[in-house]
Structure 1
Amino acid sequence: MEPYRSILFVPGHRPRWVEKAIATGADCLVLDLEDSVPAFEKESARNAVAESIARARETSPDIGLFVRVNPLATKMTGADLEAVVVPGLTGVFAPKIEQATDVLQYDALVDHFEHRNGVSGLEYIVPVETVKAIHNCLEVATASPRVGAMIGPSAQHADIAREVGYEWTPEGLETLYLRSRVLLACREAKIHALTGLWEDLDNLDGLRQFAVRGRQLGFRGMIVIHPTHVETVNDVFYPSDADIEFYRGLAESYEKAEAQGTGALRYRGLHIDKAHYDKAIQWLERARSIRLRTGAERGEQ
């Protein structure tokens, strides 16, 4: 999966909001058919989302376009996918997955509608929303090649908060174990690790602090529920010039020392060896991928 920094939700029955969402600079949009769409508008929202995908893809060929469908238990998932698996779609935001068999049910549906509608290569973003999903997160992450990202839960009031019963704090210690389990599952499955959302819409300083803590923990992007949050999240998960200089210098210093027969050395006051070099190379590869994706935005070539 692409190294999306920001994944912004847009209610599927509000097609006029899609253009505004693109203008925020979000790396990826999730057009929602689930919680943000009233029951009586579900059917019309499917057609609106399909049309939004076509329009968005014409103007923004590189943006990620996912659709959050209704969960399998609602019996609406098939009808959702039938309508929205169209050319231009990047993937499916698949809610309420708890075990590998749930993923395989999605696979069966997506395989069918891909073939029927002339689409291929769809991926899943999987939110972890229940206690059972926490226990089975590695099983879910490795259940299908379509699983491209998983979200470490941190919601203040949504499903996981109700299921676990924690009392939310801005520091996030009450969800640290939950998020850590998901993070490790993502690392083992080699998929994109996303941290959950920040619900305090006007508190941008709190958002930045939360996003930084997520990045420090090991997450590489974040779910966003309000357009004003995109800029902050993009900035937090963007590799800085100073960090790139540090890791390039580390790699170059190690390579020079290794060529001279030295396996350990001092770099900017730090002891470094092969393990540090390997981390630097991996970090630089990810940074290059992000910068290539966002080069036009930053004025880079």
Structure 2
Amino acid sequence: MTHRPRRSVLYMPGSKERALEKAQSLPADALILDLEDAVAPAEKDAARDLVCDRVKAKPFGPREVIIRVNGADTPWGAADLEAATAAQPDAILLPKVNSAEDLAAARKIAGDIPLWAMMETPLGMLNAAEIGAAPGLTCMVMGTNDLVKELHAAHTPERLPLVTGLGLCLLAARAHGLAIIDGVYNAFKDEDGLRAACEQGRDMGFDGKTLIHPAQLAITNAVFAPSEEALEEARAQIAAFEEVERTGGGVAVVNGRIVENLHVENARRLLAEAEAIATLEAAAA
């Protein structure tokens, strides 16, 4: 897909066989099969084997599948990266990326497999531009829990302590043509809070949100999908603009607002996103 939906990116614990089976039918756009935070040290080796064997079998249908490995500075990082590369997922997610060198080192093993970068440290925020330019990187993932911890900050509804870091990563991602996924919302039973967090992330410019529980999927998918109202306006903008171009008329206007090239470009992006979402959902049905 030219526009690959990444509205909902669900973490699944790599040590839980039942969770991996359940993931095959969940309405998530993407799955992060986690070998890092969700797996206890004593289970790391077994989880690696389980996840990589499952990924090789390709049971997840059209969902994008990403393996999050342990860091290169851990006892499991090197083996994780080698095994994940052999499993050939859609991408490999590297934790706590601090610099472009972290990505370059991983790429020597991962080869042509796309890399995703967890952006979750103060140094990573300061180096977001160079990280975004690294060859092989296709997506940034905000690790907001770790970033709050590293900043000695607090979780607040408005996320003011994180605004600088979020903004730096958004700028870097868009400057280099990357996807970028917002951090998790921890209170998975708080639907109103989740919706507000998703709306904030969407309005900031994120492509989607990482999730910690399947119960969060429906709201996240709905918020990060173009609304029917937005799609109707997009179609009207394109039609008005093309009519003016065809007839050599003056300025295109829709709902009392001037329509320029930038509006048409955004309108076509929304329609392409909606088409990609429909294609993915039909394939997963």
Aligned partner (choices 100, 125, 137) of residue 147 of structure 1: 137
- Note the C-alpha offset of 1:292: 2.3
| 203-212 or 88-97: bigger deviation | 88-97
Report the TM-score, using the length of structure 1 for normalisation.
0.88
- Matched with 2:44 is 42
Q: Given that residues 195 and 214 in structure 1 are in contact (C-alpha distance below 8 angstroms), is that contact kept between their aligned partners in structure 2?
A: yes
Q: Give the distance between the partners of 2:24 and 2:119, measured in 1 at CA.
A: 26
Aligned to 1:32: 34
Q: What's the secondary structure of 2:65's corresponding residue?
A: strand
Residues 70 and 95, structure 2, Cα contact 8 Å, conserved in 1: yes
Give the aligned residue type for 1:101: E
**Matching residue's letter, 2:29:** D
1:231 partner letter:
A
Alignment partner, residue 180 of structure 2: 193
What amino acid is the match of 1:9?
Y
Query: Is contact 1:3–1:192 with CA below 8 Å preserved after alignment?
Result: no
- Counterpart residue type for residue 66 of structure 1: I
Divergent runs of 4+, >3 A? none
SS of aligned partner of 2:98: coil
- The code of the aligned residue for 1:105 comes to A
Query: 1:140 offset after TM fit, Å?
Result: 0.7
CA contact (8 A) 2:5 2:276 kept: yes
- Whether 1:202 aligns to 2:202 is no
Correspondences of 1:99-114 after superposition (within 5 Å): 99-111=99-111
Match of 2:122 in 1: 131
What residue number does 1:164 align with?
151
Q: Which amino acid aligns with 2:114?
A: E
User: Map of 1:69-88 to 2, 5 A cutoff?
Assistant: 69-87=69-87
Tell me the equivalent position of 2:234: 247
After TM superposition, the structure 1 stretch with the greater mean CA deviation from structure 2, 179-188 or 17-26, is 17-26
Unmatched tracts of structure 1, length 5 or more: 112-120
Q: CA deviation at 1:75?
A: 4.3
- The CA deviation at 1:263 is 5.0
Match of 2:164 in 1: 177
Please report the TM-score for the alignment, with normalisation by the length of structure 2: 0.92
Do the aligned partners of 1:3 and 1:290 also contact (CA within 8 Å) in 2?
yes
TM superposition shift of 1:166: 1.9
> What is the deviation of 1:284?
2.3
Which of the residues 201, 204, 210 maps onto 1:217?
A: 204
| 1:1-20 Cα shifts (integer Å, max 9, x gaps) | 83311111111111111121
Q: Is the 8 A contact 2:44 2:76 kept in 1?
A: no
The unaligned stretches of length 5 or more in structure 2 are none
Superimposed CA distance per residue, residues 234-291 of structure 1 (whole angstroms, 9 cap, x where no aligned partner): 1111222222111011111011012222352321121222222222223323332333
SS at match of 2:275: helix
Give, in whole Å, the separation in 2 of the partners of 1:68 and 1:234: 22
1:278 aligns with one of 256, 259, 265? 265
Distance 1:192 1:287 in 2: 16
Give me the whole-angstrom Cα distance separating, in 2, the residues matched to 1:288 and 1:26: 16
How far apart, in 1, do the equivalents of 2:267 and 2:168 lie?
24
> How many matched pairs?
283
Deviation at 1:163, TM superposition (A): 1.3
State the identity as a percent: 30
Aligned to 2:5: 3
Contact 1:152 1:178 in 2 (8 A): no
